[in-house]
Structure 1
Amino acid sequence: MVHVREMGAADIEAVSRIRVRGWLAAYAGIVPQTYLDAMSVEDDARQRREWFSHPGRTSRDLVALGDRGPVGWICCGPCRSEVPGPGSVGEVYALYVAPDLTGQGIGRTLLDEAHAQMKGDGFEASALWVLRDNRRAQHFYEQAGYQADGAAQDDVYDGVTLTELRYQCVL
């Protein structure tokens, strides 16, 4: 059983470990290995500290706490792109769970809490982006009520272009 709470500055190192380990586990064979090999907890924590302390930050960060401290992290906020349809749309920017704990409901618990907070903030729907080749994440989000809406965008990782698909759900 996990407990979800707002992330604090003291959680940055743990969240960076979760995020980097999550990338290494989730994106092996999808994102170029050179990109993954260049990731470090120290660099991620430095970037996260800058971002976390930014006075104009509009995102919400939540951590899932287990017996060993933070075991998952989700970041959400206002949608960063135009999404057709009525109502205000929020966005899940990132969701990572310690790789050795995936499949235990932690990600779903974080997502449900983020949805509740977005709904409380007045958002009527949520959007997110998933790499086209990340079938596991697509399945996870589909099980949570998300559907691909046909939008796609490309990102470049170490010279390799990868396509992300946008998913949406009603809150």
Structure 2
Amino acid sequence: MPLIRPATTEDALTISRIHAAAWRSTYEGILPKAYLDRLRDDHWTEYFAQRIGKGSYKSYVTIVKSKAVGCVTFGPNRMNIAGARQEENWGEIYSIYVLPEFQGQGQGKALVKHAIRQMKEAGYRGCSLWILEANRSSRGFLHSMKFKNDLKPRSFTIMDQTLINLRYSMEFQTK
């Protein structure tokens, strides 16, 4: 089982680098090439430093040979969207990314399981996350983790390209 530890503000640049590398790899052919080409490793550094520093949400990193290779961020569900199975006390996984060279080795699965365990302990009744429709490999990963697509798609635009976002959710089993 991978070593997972809480992220600190000192991890903000590392988490940003993980996101940027994963975006360039995962979203190649999905997001506009010009957008990915301009994506800097430090793009999200300030964002993560602020969120982690304020405790706005939980963030964890997975470590392999003393190096952070993946990260997950989660907390309270940020949206109440018409048509969603939106009960009180639901959490949301805001992001889950693993460096491309470490994907397929169980790091992502361990991070998602850790986030779910933490949300259950915090009293959440379920969790959701958003994913691009065109991201087939990650959708397959979510299905394997027992997440279900439960809401009609939402669209947004990046550099004149319309993208479709899907919400996946999981209701936690009560004992």
State TM-score, norm by structure 1.
0.92
Matching residue of 1:67: 65
| Runs of 4+ more than 6 Å apart | none
Residue aligning to 1:32: 32
Aligned to 1:122: 123
Q: Report if the CA contact (8 A) 2:52-2:59 is conserved.
A: no
- Answer yes or no: is 1:160 the counterpart of 2:161: yes
Q: CA deviation at 1:38?
A: 1.2
Structure 2 gaps, min length 5: none
Residues 121-162 of structure 1: CA deviation (Å, up to 9, x unaligned): 111111111101100010001100101013321121112110
- Given that residues 58 and 78 in structure 1 are in contact (C-alpha distance below 8 angstroms), is that contact kept between their aligned partners in structure 2? no
Q: CA deviation at 1:85?
A: 4.9
Once the 2 structures are TM-superposed, how far is the Cα of residue 87 of structure 1 from its aligned partner? 4.6
Q: What count of residue pairs does the alignment treat as equivalent?
A: 169
Describe the superposition over 1:11-32 as per-residue Cα deviations: whole angstroms up to 9, x where unpaired: 1221111110000000000011
Between the aligned partners of 1:42 and 1:81, the Cα distance in structure 2 is 27
1:23 corresponds to: 23
CA RMSD of aligned residues (A): 1.5
Percent identical: 28
Quick check: 69-78 or 151-160, which moved more? 151-160
CA contact (8 A) 1:153 1:165 kept: yes
| Match status 1:79 vs 2:77 | yes
> Contact 1:22–1:98 at 8 Å: present in 2 too?
yes
